[in-house]
Amino acid sequence: MKVSVIIPTYNERDNLEELFERIDGALKGYDYEIVVVDDDSPDGTWEFARSLAGEYPVKVIRRTEEKGLSSAVIRGFKEAAGTVFVVMDADLQHPPEVVPELLNAIEKGADIAIASRYVPGGGVKNWYWYRKLISKGAIMIGRLALPKIRDVKDPVSGFFALRRDVVEGAKLNPIGFKILMEILIKGRYKEVTEVPFTFGLRHAGESKLGTKTMVNYLKHVYRLMRWEGELDRLIKFTLVGLSGVVVNEGFLWAFVNFLGWDKILANIPATELAILNNFTWNDLWTFRDLQRKPLWKRIATFHVAALTGALVQWVIYVGLVYLGMNYLVANLIGIVVSFVVRFLVNRHVTWG
Ligand SMILES: Nc1nc2c(ncn2[C@@H]2O[C@H](COP(=O)(O)OP(=O)(O)OP(=O)(O)O)[C@@H](O)[C@H]2O)c(=O)[nH]1
Ligand SMILES: [Mg+2]
């Protein structure tokens, strides 16, 4: 196999020498090239990288028209000559010594090998607790919103290897914020392996990640949800939920008015009928393509989801009212959270 190590850079001049040296040491015995994609860095990263091309097999692309991390990586894919691509940062947060482990995983049959912070043996070093929290929270949101990647522990890692055919012909969006997530959703692959590594603080230079990061990440997750059809499901699930309100109210009214049932007790069959209504529409419409579990199991877990949602709603209501919040606002928050919980339980369990 021929390996192309793709490195997006912006003002990373002071990291290059050590980076190339360690890559070269780690890849002894491999046929490899380094592809640096630099966005015309003011510190002259591109120039300096070119000056090292005599010593190492480096190809430098200096972009002046385009900017951005993901588009730089995609450009790297286009320019790379290898059969296997490795993507890594320039600031030595991604230890080059891990690259052979990624390549081993590919040789053993993985299509994508991810250097992962969140599998046993991996981790982060010297991070404040809030950076850890944000990182883990962001990953959890991504895995919940995109069931296709729910088994991947670190789908936003910037350090990974893949076979060329995974991305060849894939419609990768260059404004996508996390390129690995983009690839995991749109690429052509079967097997993903994660190799542990420890992510520390950058070696030299400055971070390019600002405060807009989280918003951009959520936008990216949203776009991928649309691509996957998960957003359509969410909309259908909402419409079905609204139909359930009508069914619930209608039967409650009919039971009390026509059958003269007790108002308190009549609520129970009315609610159950609404649950069955919602189940039916969701089963035949929202999640039609996901009827994998036996029907009785789907019905059972749908009820569990409904019950869990109701419980969550009640706990939030009581808690927020206790904290002094207006009861109507508290209830609204409860309803929204309950809705999200029910959608997720149903998406991942009932029709998982
Ligand atoms: N070509 C290009 N490379 C970029 C751009 N933004 C970041 N990079 C490179 O992408 C890699 C990751 O960026 P970092 O700033 O290190 O992001 P980070 O590792 O999450 O943040 P730190 O922990 O602060 O280093 C580095 O090699 C950067 O030089 C960009 O707009 N264009
Ligand atoms: Mg970095």
**Which pLDDT tens digit goes with each residue over 277-310?**
999 999 999 999 999 999 999 999 999 999 999 9
Q: State in Å: Cα 188 to ligand 2 middle.
A: 27
Q: What is d(CA 156, CA 297) in angstroms, rounded to the nearest whole number? A: 33
Q: State in Å: Cα 38 to ligand 2 middle.
A: 15
Q: What is d(CA 297, CA 346) in angstroms, rounded to the nearest whole number? A: 11
User: Would you state the pLDDT for residue 288?
Assistant: 97
Share of the chain above pLDDT 70, in %: 99
User: Two tokens at 73?
Assistant: 């990586």
Mean pLDDT value of segment 302-321:
97
Ligand 1, atom 13: nearest CA belongs to which residue?
208
Please report the domains of the chain, with CATH numbers, ordered by start residue.
Answer: 2-228 (3.90.550.10), 230-350 (no CATH)
Q: What is d(CA 130, CA 147) in angstroms, rounded to the nearest whole number? A: 26
Q: State in Å: Cα 161 to ligand 1 middle.
A: 18
Average pLDDT, the chain: 96
**Which pLDDT tens digit goes with each residue over 189-219?**
999 999 999 998 788 887 766 667 889 999 9
Examine the pLDDT at 177 and tell me if it is beyond 70.
yes
Global confidence as pTM: 0.92
Q: What is d(CA 286, CA 162) in angstroms, rounded to the nearest whole number? A: 34
The packing angle between helices 99-107 and 13-26, to 10°, is 50
